[in-house]
Amino acid sequence: MRRFSFLVLITILGGSFTSAADRPNIVWVTSEDNGPHLGCYGDEYADTPRLDELASRSLRYRTCWSNAPVCAPARTTLISGMYATSLGGHHMRSEVRLPSAMKLYPAVLHDAGYFCTNNSKTDYNFVSGADDAGWDENGKQASFRNRPSPDTPFFSVFNFTISHESKIRNQPHTLVHDPADAPVPSYHPDVPEVRRDWAQYYDRLTEMDAMVGEVLDQLEEDGLTDSTIIFYYGDHGSGMPRSKRWPFNSGLHVPLIVHVPEKFQSLAPQNYLPGGVSNQLVSFVDCGPTAISLAGVEPPANMQGVPFAGPHAGEPKEYLFGYRGRMDERIDRVRSCTDGRFVYLRHFYPDRPYLKYIQYMFQTPTTRVWKEMFDAGQLNEVQAKVWKPKPLEELFDLQSDPDEVVNLAQDPAYHDQLTAMQMALKTWMIETRDLGVLPEAQFLQLAGDQSPREYGLSDEFVAEALVEAAWSATKAWETPDQATVALATGLLNEPHPGLRYWGARGLNLALQSRSDIQSDGGTTAICQTLADTLDDDDPAVAIAAAEALLIRGSDGQRRAAAQRLAFLANVKNTSHPVAIAALNVVDTHPTEMGVAMEKFGERFPVDVPDSPRRINKYVGNLMKHLLTQ
């Protein structure tokens, strides 16, 4: 346990409370891998009596986004009060450093006199993990009941894993919810395996609901109900495929219930009404600053979230934002936003399908049978979509299309809505200095001895130019005309490796998107330009160029590209992020790799004992999958 220092006068820290009795206790109860599939959210298949009762005397938020659709980046956002993309912590199981002076929200609350406990998941994408987060207690026994004095205000987190993705598929399990009645979304095939997984998911939510009830009972037993503000939320969308890991609304929309006892109604969110529903848009980046505000303290200036309760509550938001980076061993780059009704997604790897083989994800029966049915040609267009390349952008109307399967991006009737959300997302990427416009290995290399955030705030990180390059170059997927090809070619001459990367990506997409590109600049000329880029000293640039040459290059260019990829895919020659990126290309184009594939199993390490702790499986997962194909 950390040494606990109690500050009696919060006014010293800029707050408005003068004693412990004036300050609320705060409890966060969170469940893993579940969207708003609760009775209080109108789900008639759900059986969640304790949460439904809590909602009846609390405020329920209609739209709360987790910002990231998987645990580690979402929790990175929560603990920091910052978008994980601004910290470089948006990739699953990454380890990035934070600026030395930066405080996470538990440390701010601790310094304000709160006893801070976490029971028990951390899963932050930081090198230091939970050690420097600021918890007084962190572990399976951590509880507000361990506070040094009954008068000590506390902030306590209780995290329940029973609803996690892994619990959907574990056996034996006797189903309580009838699979015949399970609500199967239109993008999933309606087969017994899928119905069983959905039924088991709802069973787990019922078990989770009882666990939440135990925490509420503890507060009541200890006489703390009237002095404790309670948050309940899920940590991202459901663990079913195309929810978890994907920044659709289905992957980001989580339940959020906030209970404020009568004693602290002055701190309640705007328009608080017991049993009411709030249309205010909130997301995980706002939760830490909100807890700090409830404690009477002004959130640190570096935090990007906006408090939605307490004396420092800010103005309601017009949009919420989401992001996907590397998910385990699979690299993708997606950004999304919502205004509560419409959801907009921008894909920066449109050439890659939504779902690719991820060893952990394919343990779920739904994922396996879904892919098997696709391979057998047994799916309809909506169900088959996720196994195919993506459009450049998507726009969905949740009011008429809650499953997000009808893309309105090309519908002239929605042009103004599309334009507004494009601008909002692009502006957000620039203003928050989204490090995701650079490949993972690249921003880590460029940061050097700095933390990625410090690099992102420096003049060396040309945020506006990089975001503009990312948006403009990837238009080649849909419009590979002379202007787009010329823009991408020009980027290859830039000194910043990030701009050169987008140049190579743009030409890559142009070559893939049309067979008649000779009339728009010439395949031969483009391939020669990319061949000259194979030896770029930045591996990300070389990998993007090599992929294009594998697809459309001459025989000699293909051989050179395959050899370059084979070198970069071997972790002994490079780094784990570089090898993962190269292996993603190799696994997508094994036939085009030709003779370079012949001795992959002999020359390449499948198990790498000296791997960085949090990504130690991913090179091996890719190699094992590659060798089974």
Residues 567-606 as b/e (b if ≥16 CB within 10 A, e otherwise) read ebbbbeebbbbbbbbbbbbbbbbeebbbebbeebeeebee
3-state secondary structure 342-357: EEEEEECCCCCCCCCC
Q: What is the DSSP letter of 389?
A: P
Across the beta sheet with 276-278, what order do the strands follow?
A: 137-138, 115-119, 154-160, 25-31, 228-234, 256-259, 59-61, 276-278
Q: Specify the pairing of strand 334-338 against strand 342-347.
A: antiparallel
- Cis, peptide link before residue 612, omega less than 30° from 0: no
Q: In terms of Cα–Cα distance, which of 526, 455, 469, 458 is closest to 500?
A: 469
Task: Give the 3-state secondary structure of residue 186.
Answer: coil
Residues 186-196 as b/e (b if ≥16 CB within 10 A, e otherwise) read ebbbeeebbbb
Beta bridge partners of 327: 330
Who contacts 337 (Cβ-Cβ below 8 Å, separation ≥6)? 319, 320, 321, 322, 343, 344, 421, 424, 425, 428
In degrees rounded to 5, what are phi and psi of residue 134?
Answer: 110, 10
Beta bridge partners of 316: none
Who contacts 101 (Cβ-Cβ below 8 Å, separation ≥6)? none
User: Is the CB of residue 307 less than 8 Å from the CB of residue 286?
Assistant: yes
Q: Rounded to an integer, what distance in angstroms lies between the CA atom of residue 369 and that of residue 458?
A: 48
Q: Rounded to an integer, what distance in angstroms lies between the CA atom of residue 368 and that of residue 2?
A: 46
Chain-centroid distance, C-alpha 217: 33
Q: Rounded to an integer, what distance in angstroms lies between the CA atom of residue 366 and that of residue 195?
A: 9
Type and span of the H or E element at 501: helix 497-513
Beta bridge partners of 114: none
Q: In terms of Cα–Cα distance, which of 300, 365, 280 is closest to 59?
A: 280
What letter represents residue 331's amino acid?
Answer: I
- Out of 71, 116, 287, 527, the active site residue is 71
Q: In terms of Cα–Cα distance, which of 320, 82, 32 is closest to 201?
A: 32
Chain-centroid distance, C-alpha 494: 30
User: Is the CB of residue 353 less than 8 Å from the CB of residue 388?
Assistant: yes
71 is catalytic: yes
In degrees rounded to 5, what are phi and psi of residue 426?
Answer: -65, -40
Provide the annotated active-site residues. 71
